Structure 1
Amino acid sequence: MSEKANLLIFGATGTIGSYITAAIVAARPSFNRIAIFTSPNTFNSKAPALDALRQQGVDILVGDITSREEVLKAYEGIDTVVSALGRGAIAAQIPLIELANATPSITRFLPSEYGTDIEYGPASATEKPHQQKLKVRAALKQVRPDLEYAYVVTGPYADFPFYLGRSSNEQAGSFDALAKRAVLLGDGQGRVSLSGCADVGTFVVHTLTHWDAARNRALKLNSFTTTPAEILAEFEKQTGATWSVEYTSLDKLKELEAEAWEKGAPAATVFTLRRIWTEGGTLYERRDNEDIGVTHTATLGELVTDSIRAQIEGVPSKH
């Protein structure tokens, strides 16, 4: 696009949405209008954060994401939609896509991907956590030809409390900087590609500002590729201690995954994703960072430092 974009962000204050919004606001000169669509509940519960965004020139639109009229009103004058809706709201993007398709001014839609490649291989089509995202991709293939898209595929988030954090489900992998204890997946030598949350925001900005390279693609992006053993070594180095270590084999991980789904446990999705990653589901023939002009990303050492600090300061574990 030759003109600066008018953006509308859904899920702007959520777990990953806050990083995406921050990166977009930091790149303010690259865009024309930046607006976010938020619910009345979020408007009230996150008032200070929204006020801060407003002071940075962001338009705050309050409405019901399920209301056709309110979404269409928010779409007025918008040409680019960025979704950062959480996993529980993935399916809500399908009517948003349909309404975008009915709005001639909208020419780009970035759905909420920011995770495992849901079309990595033949087995991906049957993975339970992928089903709603697959439906979203199918919906985007049915839109008018001039409504383009990009899938920002980042692999798992590295930051504490995610991959580099302690976990309430230790057998799904954990790095506990207080107890100096780790649970490594597989044999600890399997490679996994991770993304810092701030880098996810950078990836989105570069996707939008390098559209000729990004359009109608699944962009495979990440901060670095490492192994559980290398992560442990970095934690030991920075804490100056030898950690106690246990392992969850791939077979055990599959067993725990099956049990969790059978019981309907909330951790079922976590076990499935960790199994996919341990099987190599974040490794690609190439990564696309440079295609969209990303040359600098967070390092393992930097994010381990952040994780140790967060754990010492008492930030509660979420996963």
Structure 2
Amino acid sequence: MASQLPSNILIFGATGNIGKYITGAIISAEPNVGRHVSIFTSPATASSPDKQAILSSWKSRGLSVITGDLSNADDIRNAYNGIDTVISCLGRNALASQIELLKLAEESGVQWFFPSEYGTDIEYDASSKDEKPHQNKLRVREYIRENLKKVKCTYVVTGPYIDMYLTLAPVAKEAGGYDVKSKKAVVIGSGDDRVGFTTMPDVGKLVVAALRHPEVSIDKALKVQSFVTTPNDIVAEFEKQTGSKWTVEHTPIQKLREIENEKWNANDPIATLYTLKRIWAEGGTLYDKTDNEILGLRPEDMEPLSAAVERAIGGKGY
């Protein structure tokens, strides 16, 4: 499939946090990517009042909804009928289920599979293999390397979503974030360390670009992002747009590490956030060169920091 564009696309996790941006970008793309787009979801999601607006909008543009059980092999086999390209947008808690999806894809006519890799680079350096939040994604990559012969894969590695990064979680204030209401920021370290980010709308744009360019995307982990900035530059952008001086607190890296270890020892799910924030602060999102250009995307094609901050101030975040 090295030169063949996708025809029939199936999306898992389409209505989730990042899935809705990827699905929206795919069905809105002009010219079209794929002749037909379907999503696989549970009956509960398909009938949920909270999902009706977005599902109705997508269906009005030709999208098909397939309902079934993600853990039911027959449901997946039926969904794969006639599909050549699969996009997984499954969330962190469902990542391991992709192994069965890949196994069934190999047995079907699926040719191209995008595992749910949007986010932190799980093979950035030698230490990446030991990071606890990476383990399920690493297992998926291992399965792909050792078992897939017919299905080709593409990983779209975006780094952190700036939209989520901006949130100051009340249960994890030391992990950093920005609170528009109180005009307060908590930054990690000095705040001068550079971090590569992708906006959530740009994740969709980047997946569409990868679909348009199979010749450079297949069998590759694409390292892509919207922009690189620092926590202090983010504070400055909030101050500029709100016209107010913000209060800034700092969490030293060593303190972040201590809390991270405490949370893991206590089996607290919030530990994942501390680990990821530490990885980002330590430079785990920086590259000499990204793959944006080979996908035909220039810096001016991507959203700037100001757009993400404007949405956050307006309460229109993810």
Provide the TM-score with structure 1 as the length reference: 0.94
Mapping of residues 244-255 of structure 1, within 5 Å = 244-255=247-258
What's the % identity of the aligned pairs?
46
Determine the C-alpha separation between the residues in 2 that align with 1:270 and 1:4: 35
Partner of 2:167: 165
Partner of 1:240: 243
Match of 2:13 among 7, 11, 14: 11
Partner of 1:280: 283
Partner of 2:126: 122
Partner of 2:24: 22
Given that residues 5 and 31 in structure 1 are in contact (C-alpha distance below 8 angstroms), is that contact kept between their aligned partners in structure 2?
A: yes
Match of 1:256 among 250, 256, 259: 259
Q: Deviations over 1:191-216 (max 9, x none)?
A: 00010000000011111110101111
Partner of 2:8: helix, strand, or coil? strand
Q: Structure 2: any 5+ residue segments left out of the alignment?
A: none
Partner of 1:282: helix, strand, or coil? coil
Given that residues 166 and 177 in structure 1 are in contact (C-alpha distance below 8 angstroms), is that contact kept between their aligned partners in structure 2?
A: no
**Range moving further from structure 2, 181-190 or 165-174:** 165-174
Determine the C-alpha separation between the residues in 2 that align with 1:97 and 1:180: 46
Partner of 1:200: 203
Partner of 2:162: helix, strand, or coil? coil
Determine the C-alpha separation between the residues in 1 that align with 2:175 and 2:312: 18
Q: CA deviation at 1:144?
A: 4.0
Given that residues 172 and 271 in structure 1 are in contact (C-alpha distance below 8 angstroms), is that contact kept between their aligned partners in structure 2?
A: yes
Partner of 2:142: 138
Q: Deviations over 1:134-188 (max 9, x none)?
A: 01111111344331111100000011xx112232211100111110111011110
Count, aligned residues: 310
Mapping of residues 1-319 of structure 1, within 5 Å = 1-2=3-4, 4-27=6-29, 29-45=32-48, 46-103=51-108, 105-159=109-163, 162-168=164-170, 169-295=172-298, 296-310=301-315
Q: CA deviation at 1:114?
A: 0.5
Root-mean-square deviation (CA, aligned residues, Å) is 1.4
Determine the C-alpha separation between the residues in 2 that align with 1:3 and 1:157: 27
Determine the C-alpha separation between the residues in 1 that align with 2:285 and 2:148: 31
Provide the TM-score with structure 2 as the length reference: 0.95
Determine the C-alpha separation between the residues in 1 that align with 2:86 and 2:33: 15
Determine the C-alpha separation between the residues in 2 that align with 1:166 and 1:59: 37
Given that residues 6 and 85 in structure 2 are in contact (C-alpha distance below 8 angstroms), is that contact kept between their aligned partners in structure 1?
A: no
Partner of 1:182: helix, strand, or coil? strand
The one-letter code of the counterpart of 1:56 is R
Determine the C-alpha separation between the residues in 1 that align with 2:118 and 2:148: 24
Given that residues 5 and 211 in structure 2 are in contact (C-alpha distance below 8 angstroms), is that contact kept between their aligned partners in structure 1?
A: no
Determine the C-alpha separation between the residues in 1 that align with 2:148 and 2:266: 42
Partner of 1:8: helix, strand, or coil? strand
Determine the C-alpha separation between the residues in 2 that align with 1:139 and 1:44: 34
Distance 1:110 1:55, change over 3 A: same
The one-letter code of the counterpart of 1:31 is G
Partner of 1:30: helix, strand, or coil? coil
Q: CA deviation at 1:264?
A: 1.3
Given that residues 68 and 75 in structure 2 are in contact (C-alpha distance below 8 angstroms), is that contact kept between their aligned partners in structure 1?
A: yes
Determine the C-alpha separation between the residues in 2 that align with 1:147 and 1:84: 18
Given that residues 5 and 212 in structure 2 are in contact (C-alpha distance below 8 angstroms), is that contact kept between their aligned partners in structure 1?
A: no
Q: Deviations over 1:216-260 (max 9, x none)?
A: 111011000000011111111111111111100110110010011
Determine the C-alpha separation between the residues in 2 that align with 1:3 and 1:222: 23
Determine the C-alpha separation between the residues in 1 that align with 2:124 and 2:315: 33
Determine the C-alpha separation between the residues in 1 that align with 2:94 and 2:134: 13
The one-letter code of the counterpart of 2:168 is R
Q: CA deviation at 1:283?
A: 0.7
Partner of 1:61: helix, strand, or coil? strand
